[in-house]
């Protein structure tokens, strides 16, 4: 038998499965995770704690490269994280559906 929480999850996932698979929604919802990883990289560059690297960066480095790299990191991490989470939820859904159908076959 399925618990009440598992039944609620099945109902929720059946209604929202396709909506959460859209890449732009995964990107929007996953942005905080991507920002949590990319912002410290950007802040590390701006802090100037390593003087020699700061001297080299100011003479040979284009800041647009860093900005583009940070945006790519944010996008990749946000989409990858939400796709991974979607796969986990879908796996749980399929396992619960299989258990539900097995329970129905067992009880006459």
Q: In the prediction, which pLDDT does 5 show?
A: 94
> Cα Rg for the chain, rounded, in angstroms?
22
- Cα–Cα distances (Å) from 42 to 16, 86, 92, 99, in that order, read 35, 29, 37, 47
d(CA 101, CA 103): 5
Q: In the prediction, which pLDDT does 21 show?
A: 87
Q: What mean pLDDT do residues 76-85 have?
A: 92
Q: In the prediction, which pLDDT does 68 show?
A: 92
Residue 103 has pLDDT above 90, yes or no: no
pLDDT band at 90 (very low <50, low <70, confident <90, very high): very high
- pTM, 2 dp: 0.75
Residue 88 has pLDDT above 90, yes or no: yes
pLDDT band at 81 (very low <50, low <70, confident <90, very high): very high
Residue 94 has pLDDT above 90, yes or no: yes
Per-residue model confidence as pLDDT tens digits over 8-41:
999 999 999 998 888 888 899 889 998 998 889 8
């Amino acid at each position: 038998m399925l618990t009440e929480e598992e039944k609620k999850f099945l109902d929720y996932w059946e209604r929202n499965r396709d909506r959460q698979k859209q890449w732009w929604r995964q990107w929007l919802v996953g942005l905080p995770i991507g920002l949590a990883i990319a912002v410290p990289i950007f802040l590390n560059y701006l802090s100037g704690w390593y003087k020699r690297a700061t001297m080299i960066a100011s003479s040979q480095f284009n800041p647009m490269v860093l900005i583009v790299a940070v945006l790519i990191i944010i996008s990749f991490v946000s989409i990858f994280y939400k796709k991974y989470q979607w796969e986990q939820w879908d796996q749980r859904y399929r396992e619960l559906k299989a258990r539900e159908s097995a329970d129905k076959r067992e009880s006459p």
